[in-house]
Amino acid sequence: MKKLMLIFAALVLSTVANAAPLRVFSCEPEWSALIAEIAGDRVNIYTATTGRQDVHKIQPRPSLMAAARRADLVVCTGADFEIGWLPVLLRQAGNPRIQPGSTGYIEAAMLVDRIDIPTRLDRAEGDLHPQGNPHVQLDARNIAPIARVLAERLGELDPGNRAFFEQRLADFSARWNEAIPRWEGRAAPLKGVPVIQHEMDFNYLTRWLGMPNVAMLEPKAGLPPTAAHLAGLLEQQKREPAKVIVRAPYQDARASNWLSERTQVPATALPTTIGGTSGAQDLFSLFDDAIDRLLSAVAD
Amino acid sequence: MSLFRSGAIAASFLLAPAVYAQAIATPAGILSGANAFNPAISLIMTGQYADLSEEPDGYRIGGFLAGGEHGHGFGPGERGFGLGRTELAISANIDPFFRGEAYITFDSHGGAEVEQGYVTTLALPSGLTARFGRYLSGIGYVNEQHEDFWDFVDAPLAYKALLGTQYRHDGVQLKWIAPTDLFIELGVEGGKGLGFPASEESVKNGFSSGAAYLHLGGDVGDSHSWRAGGAYLRTRADERENDNIDINDPDALVEFAFTGKSRVWVADFVWKWAPLGNPSVRNFIFQAEYIQRKESGELAYDDTAGSGALGALSDRFRASQSGWYAQAVYQFMPRWRAGVRYDRVDSGTVEYAAPVLADYEPERKTAMVDFSPSEFSRFRLQYARDESRPNLPDTQIYLQYIVSVGAHGAHRF
């Protein structure tokens, strides 16, 4: 036992010293992309999930634990989006730099106004998020304020590159603020177009573009669509037809295809983040692609 | 700047893990008054209907010193309807340095037990985490898993026969994660073992039980992930009492009391598949463990209350015994999973004054289907053919429910 303890201590001590570029652990690809816009290649970015994964269902895999162990900064959506795995990583990774409340921890959703904050918290209503809808990245107007906080925090953790981060932030913000009216102009035909969503993933996008949500394929948040609920939607469609059915790439396509076949309303998968579709390569093309997909679905 | 400020304030007050229970009490997120620091609380309730072809009170594992000081979950449970465990979990950060968690279980007959109650460090650097209190040992894979996370109603036979279902320590644990892309975790722990294969009573001052383990893990592409581990556990027993079926008379029981040391080696492997890393619709889990245990010391044997064939003996005892299981669970559509498990344990080699343990290789075949209406509820139907007892195959059918109320629990790999 004593010998084991000594080997253990030697291993631990051998790894204490380090001085390398800042390591960022980003929970979702959109935050990785935003950090890359600000920091270029002067930070090391690890992305925990992909655009094809349902972030809520992720498990604290060994690979994630190993990455959290070495991170200097954690950037996640927050608002309970990663509640099943992020708290476990933070507690078990043995890394005080990234604990909630420390400089190395940012929850992006908490930096902007959230919608869908439940007025009645009861699990009978499904898997509710007490702090509101976490998918804030899909309202383009939320991105620049979050970028500003990220740049300041990166500068705090890596003062040597502070000016570099600020200059890139200014450049990004200018390009972003030009892009917003361009997207709004392109999406003008979508205004007032009624939409059915799989869950509540696109509420920020539909609110921004002025598209009314008429129904959800899931009967309650987090509960897979049921035959009875879909049959009810079919009836409802006869009275107030929607123009498009949207789902995230990681959501089961069967429910939206079923309803689409019977109502002739087009169904489409929209990216919720970078990598969700082949067209969504960075933050700019994410919105280009989402709006293009909506426009082409509605035009059909 | 003002945004950053409010962000920092939000980060320091709103985002502590303890806040999850909080937000439920105050949807607007306004924290105020004496309740603002309430910990996260969740309650897990389980129950089952069991149809067992053989008398559950007579359950023993042939060829092993098993029974007696075994804990909860050793036998197949009661026949008919029964309440399972009710578990109350309470956790919160204690201060910037420590986090406290307690799991209190109530069994269906009114007994309550602090199944786990431990303090974990939050502020140690360099990948280190220390824990003290009562905790499930980090050896193996199933050992550290809470019962309600198991993919089957009961523990693998190898765990029942060799580790007393789940092995716990009252003591300390130190874990270290290496700064590498490959997940490498080293753990050492020690203290007093709670029950089999240690004895219930403390043997001496200092450490009477200690373990060390290594976990490796990683991803292969987007769709596959794995973890493998190796562990060593050493315990002492002082008059550890067990009984088993008398090999000279299948209707009688004999008493054993073992004093000596046990050394246990565990190898475990888990492989998970989810298409593109997205487990919501379909996923697959394969898991297998091998356990070997060597015991040496003094064994007292007594059959005077039963057959009286050998009377009361006490002599040197050495045994080398092992067991393994492999299981596969497939989620074939949202909410529905099916799984199979094969268990085998081997009574191995036993040296004693006279043959007192059956030379036997118990085995069990299990199949299950479960349905989870939501993340917070699960119903499971399980069928098993359990040949733990020589010449007495038991057909076990369970219908089980597991539900959780309160704070959203953590997922587990």
**Is residue A17 exposed (0-12), middle (13-18) or buried (19+ Cβ within 10 Å)?**
exposed
CB A26 within 8 A of CB A5: no
At B412, is the pLDDT very low, low, confident or very high (cuts 50, 70, 90)? Answer: confident
Among A13-27, B16-30, B255-269, top mean pLDDT goes to B255-269
- Predicted TM-score of the model (pTM): 0.88
Position A13 confidence tier, pLDDT thresholds 50, 70, 90: low
Q: Which residue has the tokens 């030379």?
A: B359
pLDDT at B229 over 60: yes
As a whole number, the mean pLDDT across chain B is: 88
A8, pLDDT greater than 90: no
- pLDDT band for position B47 (cuts 50, 70, 90): very high
Looking at the complex, does the CB of residue B123 fall below 8 Å from at least one CB of chain A?
A: yes
- Judging contacts by C-beta atoms under 8 Å, the chain A residues touching residue B261 are none
Q: Please tell me the distance from the alpha carbon of residue B296 to that of residue B313, in angstroms, as a whole number.
A: 16
Q: How confident is the model at residue B3 (pLDDT cuts 50, 70, 90)?
A: very low
Rounded Cα gap, residues B278 and B284, in angstroms: 11
Proportion of chain B above pLDDT 70, given as a percent: 90
Answer for the pair A45, A96: CB distance below 8 angstroms, yes or no.
no
Helix (H, G, I), strand (E, B) or coil at B92: strand
- Test B185 with A153 for CB contact under 8 angstroms: no
Residue with tokens 């972030």: A55
Q: Label residue B13 exposed, middle or buried (CB < 10 Å: 0-12, 13-18, 19+).
A: middle
pLDDT for B202: 65
Whether B335 sits inside 8 A of A224 (CB atoms) is yes
Contact B12 A5 (CB under 8 A): no
Is the pLDDT confidence value at B91 over 70? yes
User: At residue B147, does pLDDT exceed 50?
Assistant: yes
pLDDT of residue A4 exceeding 70, the answer is no
Spatial separation of the C-alpha atoms in residues A37 and A148, rounded to whole Å: 11
Dist. CA B397–CA B144, nearest whole Å: 26
- ipTM score here? 0.86
Which among A83, A92, A94 is the nearest to B408, CB-wise? A83
- Average pLDDT over all residues of chain A: 91
Look at residue A3 and tell me whether its pLDDT is greater than 90: no
Is A121 in contact with B27 (Cβ distance < 8 A)? yes
For residue A118, is pLDDT > 50? Answer: yes
Give the span between the Cα atoms of B111 and B178, in whole angstroms.
41
Identify the residue with better confidence: B217 or B200. Answer: B217
pLDDT at residue B251, rounded to an integer? 86
Q: Quickly state the pLDDT bin for A69 (edges 50, 70, 90).
A: very high
pLDDT in tens, B95-138: 989 999 999 999 888 889 999 999 999 999 999 999 999 999 99
- Give the count of Cβ contacts less than 8 A between chain A and B: 212
**Does B206 contact chain A (CB < 8 Å)?**
no
Q: How confident is the model at residue B13 (pLDDT cuts 50, 70, 90)?
A: very low
B176 → closest Cβ in A12, A49, A106: A12
A chain contacts of residue B182, beta-carbon cutoff 8 Å: 66
CB contact under 8 A, A127 and B215: no
Say yes or no for a CB contact (<8 Å) between A105 and B15.
Answer: yes
Tokens of A126: 């499904």
Residue A191 binned pLDDT confidence (cut-offs 50, 70, 90): very high
Say if residues A66 and B182 touch (Cβ distance below 8 Å): yes
Which residues of chain B are within 8 Å of residue A120 when distances are taken between CB atoms? 27
For the CA atoms of A253, A259, A261, A264, what is the dihedral angle to 10 degrees? Answer: -120
Q: Does the pLDDT of residue A18 top 80, yes or no?
A: no
Q: What's the gap in Å between the CA of A29 and the closest CA on chain B?
A: 14
Q: Can you tell me the distance from the alpha carbon of B119 to that of B113, in angstroms, rounded to the nearest whole number?
A: 17
Measured between CA atoms, how close is B52 to chain A, in angstroms?
34
The burial of B354, by beta-carbon neighbours within 10 Å (0-12 exposed, 13-18 middle, 19 or more buried), is given as: exposed
Q: pLDDT value at position B306?
A: 82
B216 touches chain A (CB under 8 A): yes
Q: Mean of the pLDDT values across residues B321-343? A: 96
Task: Report which of residues B411 and A14 the model is more confident about.
Answer: B411
Q: What pLDDT is stored for residue A120 in this prediction?
A: 83
B150 — contact with chain A (CB < 8 Å)?
no
pLDDT digits (tens, 9 = 90+) for A201-231: 999 999 999 999 999 999 888 888 889 999 9
Residue B22 has pLDDT above 60, yes or no: no
Q: Does B378 touch chain A (CB under 8 A)?
A: no
Q: Which chain B residue has its CA at the smallest distance from A120's CA? A: B27
User: How many angstroms separate the CA of residue B206 from the nearest CA in chain A?
Assistant: 12
CB of B12 within 8 Å of a chain A CB? The answer is yes
> Residues of B with CB below 8 A from A230's CB?
none
Spatial contact of A139 and A205, defined as CB atoms under 8 Å apart: yes
Query: Does B23 have pLDDT greater than 60?
Result: no
B281 touches chain A (CB under 8 A): yes
Structure tokens at B182: 């490959």
Residue B280 clears pLDDT 90, i.e. is over it:
no
Instruction: Give the model's pLDDT for residue B31.
Output: 53
Portion of chain A with pLDDT greater than 70, in percent: 93
Cβ of B181 and A12 within 8 Å?
Answer: no
> Measured between beta carbons, which residues in chain B are less than 8 angstroms from residue A142?
none
Confidence class of residue B12 from pLDDT cuts 50, 70 and 90?
very low
B125 Cβ neighbours under 8 A, 6+ residues apart: A16, A94, A95, A96
pLDDT band of residue A281 (cuts 50, 70, 90) is very high
Residue A246 has pLDDT above 60, yes or no: yes
Distance CA A23, CA B180 (A): 13
Return the residue of B nearest to A145 by Cα.
B3
Q: Within 13 Å of residue B93, how many CA atoms lie on the same side as its CB?
A: 19
Q: What is the pLDDT of residue B50?
A: 96
The distance from CA B42 to its chain's CA centroid, rounded to whole angstroms, is 19
Judge whether A172 and A179 are in contact, CB under 8 Å. Answer: no
In DSSP terms, which residues pair with B400 in a beta bridge?
B48, B380
Query: Which of B7, B27, B128 is opposite residue A94, by nearest beta carbon?
Result: B128
Residue A15: is its pLDDT beyond 70? no
Instruction: Inform me whether the C-beta atom of residue B227 falls under 8 Å from chain A C-beta atoms.
Output: yes
Residues from chain B that touch A44, judged by Cβ atoms under 8 A, are none
Chain A residues inside the 8 Å CB shell of B128 = 12, 94
Q: Is B406 on the interface with A (CB under 8 A)?
A: no
DSSP A222-236: TSPP-HHHHHHHHHH
